[in-house]
Structure 1
Amino acid sequence: MTTHTLQTPDGTLTYDVRGLLPTADGRPPLFMVGSPMGADGFATLASLMSDRTVVTYDVRGLGRSVRTDGSDRLSPELNAADQHRIIEALGAGPVEVFASSGGAVSALALVASHPEDVTLLVAHEPPCLAVLPDAEAAFAAERAVHATYASRGWAAGMAHFIAMTSIQGEISAEFASAPAPDPAVFGMTMPDDGSRGDPLLSGVSDAITAFRPDVDALRAAPTEVVLAAGIESEDTLTWRTTGAVAALLGQEVVVFPSNHGGFISSEGGYGGQPEAFAARLREVLDVGR
């Protein structure tokens, strides 16, 4: 693995390349994209795809990627612009992309704005709340999670987030005003350390969950777009957002093993089934939908 930095007008992006460029087998590099998760979250999956050249990076302002624009706000458009810069810097032509969670949202923005960059995109559980029929209640629930985090810290905020993302079916209007769950129910008993910079809980990623994919641009792109979700996520929030985006594109959801973090090893605290996940990803990359 080699680590590289790329200067931008408002910061420095850090990305890793596992394998050769140009690739030894002639296949495109496989770019793995997350948000707010950085490159380290893909370590297990990348190791299971060791026959491919794999590229990972840290989102601007997070991990090793430093921003100098004075903002902490994340958006799909900014992240997509950064991904475009990295793909150009690779100098290996268009890439295949596996993107998860907020990274899947930014990858949809990337394909819409730079369709020449990506031959195939597997968008895994993009949390595009705006496309849901219960979007208003979903956004109210999200704001309630942010408020819990702001007033009580990480454990309380994460417990509230887990409760929201575990709801089966539509989110009720009452969720936002209901008491937040006790974090001890989820085994989180750590005291509040006073920090409030978590990119998942603080609201700095609101533009990601509010993003509406450009359906016309995605349909016109030469890129094959695959919407994917883990079977254990069925009927939860990110399964439903994935299904809603897939429906806008006239597709069905491609089912993967495990959950929202199905490619992450159990050492990450949110264990999935990375070996089975990698095998399914390989199938989809090899044969598409």
Structure 2
Amino acid sequence: MTTIEVPDGQLHFEVRGSGPLLLITGSPMSAAEFGPLAEALAGDHTVVTHDPRGVGGSSLDDPDAPSQPELRARDLTTLLDRLKADTVDVLGSSGGAVTGLALVTDYPGRVRTLIAHEPPLLELLPDAVRWRKEIEQIVTTFHEQGAGAAWGAFMRSAGFVRDGDTPPAPPEPRPEPTEQQLADTARFFDHDLRATTRYLPDVAALVVSPARIVVGIGADSGHLNTYQTSMALATLLAEPPVTFPGDHAGFLGDPAGFAAVIREVLETDPAVN
């Protein structure tokens, strides 16, 4: 575990294992959420995880500095330079998949294969204007009603909670959130959510990029808006998506199965197909 200087702060990262370099990136998910997946891959890969800018151990000189995917991609190039890695394979999940698309677009040649697992590219959907308004309402809910109400609105919007679902049992008493957890939540609603969901990929640049781009979808994600966005991206790239275990957070529920699909993708030579 260590940190490096980026132009406007510090980036916390972790390295495990040995073998070909694989960078795992999320947003707002930090290195901790990807720990089990990284361990599952460390037997045959050098796996790098990190806290995205402004989250966890990655501090910013200005806590209110923006979090556009282009800035997150720039941070990753600083990390790759520190690791003396000219090129890298990347698994990006959720907002991290959007970061990966910005990395491929803005820094040609740095990525060999990008596995973009369920990027929430709401601007690709035919009702993008409605989605934009819905995201704005979630942010407003955060400021007017607090984190609990905002997370509930977000989960309903994304499709994790559906009409007719049985209400969950009352939660067990939990410790009060830490100062860092509160800061990370505010970071997500104030800076990450809009920037990530409003990113519009340069499909023309992606198609001619030297990087191989594979869109990943969860086997159980059909009810989520990220399934729709992933299918829209796969259609634009004219490449069939690859199915991963579980839903949007399948890497948590089945890290070994998730790792197996990553290995299969990275070991497949597209020239043979």
TM range (shorter): 0.7 to 0.9
Q: 1:236 aligns with which of 219, 224, 229?
A: 224
Alpha-carbon distance in structure 2 between the residues aligned to 1:186 and 1:148: 21
Alignment pair present for 1:200 and 2:200: no
Q: Which moved more, 1:100-109 or 1:10-19?
A: 10-19
**Can you list the C-alpha shifts for 1:175-202, whole angstroms capped at 9, x where unaligned?**
xxxxxx9xx9345668998957433334
Distance 1:277 1:33, change over 3 A: same
What SS does the corresponding residue of 1:238 show, helix, strand or coil?
helix
| Aligned AA (2:7) | P
Aligned 8 A contact 1:76 1:207 in 2: yes
**Can you list the C-alpha shifts for 1:34-80, whole angstroms capped at 9, x where unaligned?**
00111111100011112210001111111111111452421100000
Shift of 1:246: 1.3
Aligned 8 A contact 1:75 1:205 in 2: no
Alpha-carbon distance in structure 2 between the residues aligned to 1:149 and 1:40: 24
| Aligned AA (1:50) | A
Alignment pair present for 1:40 and 2:21: no
Aligned 8 A contact 1:32 1:42 in 2: yes
- 1:64 aligned residue: 57
Shift of 1:204: 4.1
Alignment pair present for 1:103 and 2:96: yes
Alpha-carbon distance in structure 2 between the residues aligned to 1:168 and 1:246: 25
What SS does the corresponding residue of 1:108 show, helix, strand or coil?
helix
Alpha-carbon distance in structure 1 between the residues aligned to 2:188 and 2:244: 24
- 1:4 aligned residue: 2
Shift of 1:104: 0.4
Alpha-carbon distance in structure 1 between the residues aligned to 2:228 and 2:242: 13
- 1:151 aligned residue: 144
**Can you list the C-alpha shifts for 1:115-171, whole angstroms capped at 9, x where unaligned?**
2111101000000111110111111121222222222222211111111111799xx
Q: Which moved more, 1:279-288 or 1:32-41?
A: 279-288
| Aligned AA (1:263) | F
Alpha-carbon distance in structure 2 between the residues aligned to 1:91 and 1:102: 25
Distance 1:44 1:82, change over 3 A: same
TM-score (norm 1): 0.83
Aligned 8 A contact 2:155 2:161 in 1: no
Higher share in helix: 2
CA root-mean-square deviation? 2.6
- 2:248 aligned residue: 260
Aligned 8 A contact 2:22 2:89 in 1: yes
Aligned 8 A contact 1:158 1:201 in 2: no
Give % identity: 36
Any gaps of 5 or more consecutive residues in structure 2? Answer: none
- 1:280 aligned residue: 261
| Aligned AA (2:167) | V
What SS does the corresponding residue of 1:255 show, helix, strand or coil?
strand
What SS does the corresponding residue of 1:232 show, helix, strand or coil?
coil
| Aligned AA (2:150) | G
Aligned 8 A contact 1:127 1:237 in 2: yes
Alpha-carbon distance in structure 1 between the residues aligned to 2:161 and 2:266: 30
TM-score (norm 2): 0.87
- 2:82 aligned residue: 89
Alpha-carbon distance in structure 1 between the residues aligned to 2:39 and 2:264: 17
Aligned 8 A contact 1:167 1:237 in 2: no
Distance 1:204 1:42, change over 3 A: closer
Alpha-carbon distance in structure 2 between the residues aligned to 1:70 and 1:257: 35
